[in-house]
Amino acid sequence: MATDLVIRNVRIIDGTGGPSRSGDVAVEGDRIAEVGDVGGVGRADASTTTIDGQGLCLAPGFVDVHTHDDGALIRHPGMEFKLAQGCTSVVIGNCGFSAAPARVGEYDASGLLGVRPTWSDLEGFAAAVAEVRPAVNAVALIGHNSIRNLVMGNERRDPTDAELAEMRQHVARAMAQGACGFSTGLIYEPGRYSGTDEVIELARESAAAGGLYASHIRNEGDRLLEAIDEAILIGAEAGLPVQISHHKAAGRRNWGKVGQSLARVDEANAAGADITLDVYPYTAGSGPMAQYFDIERIDPELASVIRFASCPAFREYEGRMAVDVAAEQGVEVADVIRQVLTAPDGDKTICIQFMIDEADVATNLRHPLMMVGSDGVVDLRGKPHPRLFGTFPRVLGHYVRDEAVLTLEEAIRRMTELSARRFGLVDRGLIAEGRFADLVLFDPDVVIDTATYDDPKQEPVGIEAVIVNGALAYRSGTHTGVGAGRMLRYQPAG
Ligand SMILES: [Zn+2]
């Protein structure tokens, strides 16, 4: 077999966290065939594509461990916003919201999916994704909110025994169909109406299949530490690894608290727990606005830091702070929030909340068990949070190169090997012979995000080439249109 692709004379950052070295990497089919000395690799012939890697770094393709790309894989199979960052795999179904299970033809309540399901379970969803040939790989979490909504609607009570059994079956079925674990979003409806015991019971089904528990914990502000404790307890009781999603301390009075919550995680791990985390490199969050406000009692502090991302009811508000809209109209900011949420389609509003301390982002990124996840919400009609387009280049350019918060090799490890191992992406996350050829070629002196809150739909610079399953998917700013991504089936690390 001739070599399909050779990247020559490149600085190889292999994902282990060890020092980079100079060499060549040869790809045959969908795998890395050889990693070797400069000049001596690959059985090149006329059909071989050769890329000169002089001055560039080659890393395993980035794994975005925290996404809401379930519907996007079908709506935007080119996945340009991820591919251009160097992402070759995404973990979907986070925060308790997953595309499956679903009722055929029925829009999900969260507004995150944005597509009408033609499937009822993960197997059906995976088939629908495979049909559109997405540009990146995906592995699925099964979401608590989606399951609970399907079984119990928006009921504000504990499940009956029969309902709990039905929910357990959904988790077990998804695990058997290739899900990597069970996710919760315990601040969201309807997950917030569940007790810890319910979550433990459902997490047990993930544990039985060797999966993990990923959680948008119950509180990320005043009760952050209690919420961390709950996640640790769920992991211990159900007997499975825990991923704390988008770790943060929200709200000015809680800034700095991430030091304490990371200490709790370290303590638990030292005592035998298995807890890891992820973070997005920004000081603002984003999500469905209806989920953050009690319409009867609009929180004025939260309202003051809200910016509209997608606002179908008032498109003219997109990209503006609620306080500025209020000032212009001569009303209170709470009135603007209420006006939006009570309008037709108000429940489809996606907002951005500026609520995180910059110092906490750096503290998070310094932690050795901290992965990178974008948490981007894919509604491209408005002004989405720039993390959708900029997360990975921002870590590499801003936090590694400019701020020296972590080394390049360590950042790559936490975007690749650690993430692939955690979420069961078999034979991915490392540059080594026999591994899948998911690769990203980038310029370490140039790489940076260009997406801003005002102009968020901008692809980063410095990402030279992205290879997915051996196919060149992105090169010098151009998407090749090759849909080489796959729905991956989870396999627990051995
Ligand atoms: Zn979340």
Q: Distance, CA 225 to ligand 1 centroid (Å)?
A: 17
| Angle at 294 (CA atoms; ends 284, 355), nearest 5 degrees | 15
Q: Which residue has the higher pLDDT, 402 or 105?
A: 402
Q: Distance, CA 470 to ligand 1 centroid (Å)?
A: 32
Q: Distance, CA 21 to ligand 1 centroid (Å)?
A: 37
Q: Distance, CA 6 to ligand 1 centroid (Å)?
A: 39
Q: Distance, CA 95 to ligand 1 centroid (Å)?
A: 4
Tokens of 83: 């591919």
Q: What is the dihedral of CA 431, 435, 439, 445, to 10 degrees?
A: -10
Q: Which residue has the higher pLDDT, 379 or 95?
A: 95
φ, ψ (nearest 5 deg) of residue 140: -110, 140
Q: What is the spatial distance between Cα 289 and Cα 286, in angstroms, rounded to a whole number?
A: 8
pLDDT at 60 over 90: yes
- Domain positions in the chain: 5-60+430-479, 62-283+355-422, 286-354
Tokens of 414: 């936490």
Average pLDDT over residues 332-343: 96
The CATH number of 286-354 is which of 3.30.1490, 3.55.50, 3.30.60, 1.10.3470?
A: 3.30.1490
pLDDT at 494 over 80: no
pLDDT at 358 over 70: yes
Closest-CA residue to 148 (of 191, 102, 99): 191
Q: What is the spatial distance between Cα 368 and Cα 364, in angstroms, rounded to a whole number?
A: 9
Q: Distance, CA 262 to ligand 1 centroid (Å)?
A: 18
Q: Determine the 3-state secondary structure of 98 from DSSP.
A: coil
Q: What is the spatial distance between Cα 287 and Cα 294, in angstroms, rounded to a whole number?
A: 15
Closest-CA residue to 260 (of 247, 274, 271, 272): 247
Q: Distance, CA 472 to ligand 1 centroid (Å)?
A: 32
| Contact between residue 10 and residue 23 where contact means Cβ atoms under 8 Å apart | yes
Same fold, 5-60+430-479 and 286-354: no
Assign 90 a pLDDT band (cuts: 50, 70, 90): very high
Q: Distance, CA 52 to ligand 1 centroid (Å)?
A: 40
What is the crossing angle of helices 144-152 and 161-176, to 10°?
A: 140
Q: Distance, CA 109 to ligand 1 centroid (Å)?
A: 15
pLDDT digits (tens, 9 = 90+) for 42-56: 778 888 999 999 999
Q: What is the spatial distance between Cα 278 and Cα 216, in angstroms, rounded to a whole number?
A: 11
Please tell me the pTM assigned to this model. 0.97
Q: What is the spatial distance between Cα 70 and Cα 492, in angstroms, rounded to a whole number?
A: 21
Q: What is the spatial distance between Cα 213 and Cα 191, in angstroms, rounded to a whole number?
A: 14
Q: Distance, CA 91 to ligand 1 centroid (Å)?
A: 13
| Contact between residue 428 and residue 420 where contact means Cβ atoms under 8 Å apart | yes
Assign 112 a pLDDT band (cuts: 50, 70, 90): confident
Tokens of 284: 């603002």
In the chain, pLDDT over 90 holds for what percent of residues?
Answer: 93
Q: Distance, CA 92 to ligand 1 centroid (Å)?
A: 12
Instruction: Tell me which fold the domain 5-60+430-479 belongs to.
Output: Urease, subunit C; domain 1 (2.30.40)
Q: Distance, CA 384 to ligand 1 centroid (Å)?
A: 15
pLDDT at 480 over 60: yes
DSSP 3-state helix, strand, coil percentages of the chain (rounded to 5)?
Answer: 35, 20, 45
Average pLDDT over residues 376-395: 95
Q: What pLDDT, on the 0 to 100 scale, is given for residue 401?
A: 98
Assign 38 a pLDDT band (cuts: 50, 70, 90): low
Cis peptide preceding 190, ω within 30 of 0: yes
Assign 111 a pLDDT band (cuts: 50, 70, 90): low
Q: Where are the alpha helices (DSSP H) in 195-311?
A: 196-208, 224-238, 258-270, 300-303
Q: Distance, CA 355 to ligand 1 centroid (Å)?
A: 14
| Contact between residue 268 and residue 275 where contact means Cβ atoms under 8 Å apart | yes
Q: Distance, CA 286 to ligand 1 centroid (Å)?
A: 9
Q: How many CB atoms lie within 10 A of CB 97?
A: 30
Q: Distance, CA 399 to ligand 1 centroid (Å)?
A: 22
Instruction: Name the E strands within 218-343.
Output: 242-244, 275-279, 284-288, 306-310
Q: How many CB atoms lie within 10 A of CB 252?
A: 12
Q: What pLDDT, on the 0 to 100 scale, is given for residue 44?
A: 80
Q: Distance, CA 27 to ligand 1 centroid (Å)?
A: 37
In the chain, pLDDT over 70 holds for what percent of residues?
Answer: 98
| Mean confidence (pLDDT) of the chain | 96
Q: Distance, CA 185 to ligand 1 centroid (Å)?
A: 6
pLDDT at 493 over 70: no
Closest-CA residue to 469 (of 8, 66, 32): 32
Assign 187 a pLDDT band (cuts: 50, 70, 90): very high
Average pLDDT over residues 314-335: 96
Q: What is the spatial distance between Cα 175 and Cα 432, in angstroms, rounded to a whole number?
A: 29
The CATH number of 62-283+355-422 is which of 3.40.50.300, 1.10.10.10, 3.20.20.140, 3.90.105.10?
A: 3.20.20.140
Q: Distance, CA 459 to ligand 1 centroid (Å)?
A: 23
Question: Worst-scoring range by mean pLDDT, 68-77, 328-337, 484-493?
Answer: 484-493
Q: What is the spatial distance between Cα 262 and Cα 369, in angstroms, rounded to a whole number?
A: 10
